[in-house]
Amino acid sequence: MPENPLPLILEPEQLQASLQQNDLVILHITKPARYHEFHVPGALFLDGAHIVKVARPMYGLLPDAADFAQLLSSLGITPDTHVVAYDDEGGGWASRMLWTLDVAGHKRFSLLNGGLVSWVNEGFPVGQQPSVPLRREAWTVNWNTGTDGPVADADYILSRLGAADLGLLDARTPEEFSGEKKFAGRGGHIPGARLLNWVDTMDQDRNLRLKAEDQLLELLHQRGLDRDMEIICYCQSHHRSSHSYIMLKALGYPRIKGYPGAWSDWGNRPDTPVE
């Protein structure tokens, strides 16, 4: 049986108190050199490139389900495992892993609040020796890409554009949003989207943790992104916007989706409108 459930947004002291849980797998998603420098004791190294698929010019697509299933097996993750993910950049890679688990129907996961930044800066114990995963039997992964699932694609967004209950959260920079900087055939944003740069949801004075709930809700309310709406998060590839997705999930938003491929898809298609 699974042990005590951990919250979606996990504080370092909560993780430290849970390090001996048998059902726990901790994933460290950074460059290899950083992992060897220091990591949460017992954490497994994961290369972020293994959780996304590239089909140029599109980036950040869902990996093949069979490949993801094999990855989970190699990391010792079963349907009963509680996965804690972190990185050293504020949660982009970690959140992308958790969103992918959500799409796979795996519900037991947490984001380490502040990631490696809060863990190391606040003096929690670190390891330097690599941890070896206990490989498990592979289990079948079926992506939940239905209309009620966590995934939006361009066709779905096109079918919903203009709906009163649709909110589009663009997690990129102001320069990308305006089209001043472009990393696709066209620059700009999806019509009706609201800009909430993912770094603006982090508390720089608290080691890149998410800002307090009331602050986050105010940022969202200012942009007309309220709980009674369906919110679709996107950025350039659904890396930064995965962090937005986990934030909304933690805030109790009931209808949220991520757009894999994101602007690298939308901005390179001939049939998508751009503001």
Overall pTM surpassing 0.95 (yes/no): yes
Mean pLDDT of 131-136: 88
Asked if residue 150 lies in contact with residue 144, where contact means CB atoms within 8 angstroms, the answer is yes
Inform me whether the pLDDT recorded for 5 exceeds 90: no
Bridge partners of 170? Answer: 195, 234
Inform me whether the pLDDT recorded for 4 exceeds 90: no
Alpha-carbon distance of 183 to 199, in angstroms, equals: 19
Mean pLDDT of 257-263: 98
Write the pLDDT tens digit of every residue in 77-111: 999 999 999 999 999 999 999 999 999 999 999 99
Mean pLDDT of 250-262: 98
Ramachandran sector of residue 10 (left: φ over 0; alpha: ψ -120 to 50; beta: rest): beta
Of the residues 24, 69, 235, 248, which is catalytic?
Answer: 235
Residue 233 known to be catalytic: no
For strands 58-61 and 53-55, give the pairing: antiparallel
For the chain, domains (ranges, CATH) are 9-121 (3.40.250.10), 154-266 (3.40.250.10)
Alpha-carbon distance of 126 to 173, in angstroms, equals: 33
pLDDT level of residue 175 (50, 70, 90 thresholds): very high
pLDDT at residue 138, as a whole number: 81
Mean pLDDT of 57-72: 97
Average pLDDT, the chain: 96
Please indicate whether residue 136 or residue 174 has the higher confidence score (pLDDT).
174
Mean pLDDT of 176-204: 98
Percent of the chain with pLDDT over 70: 99
Nearest to 84 by CA among 2, 7, 4: 7
pLDDT at residue 136, as a whole number: 86
Report long-range pairs for 207-214 (Cβ below 8 Å, ≥24 apart). 207/114, 207/117, 207/118, 207/121, 207/122, 208/90, 208/91, 208/114, 208/115, 208/117, 208/118, 209/113, 209/114, 209/118, 210/9, 210/91, 210/113, 210/247, 210/250, 213/251
Please indicate whether residue 96 or residue 4 has the higher confidence score (pLDDT).
96
Inform me whether the pLDDT recorded for 119 exceeds 90: yes
Please indicate whether residue 3 or residue 107 has the higher confidence score (pLDDT).
107
Alpha-carbon distance of 70 to 77, in angstroms, equals: 10
Inform me whether the pLDDT recorded for 1 exceeds 50: no
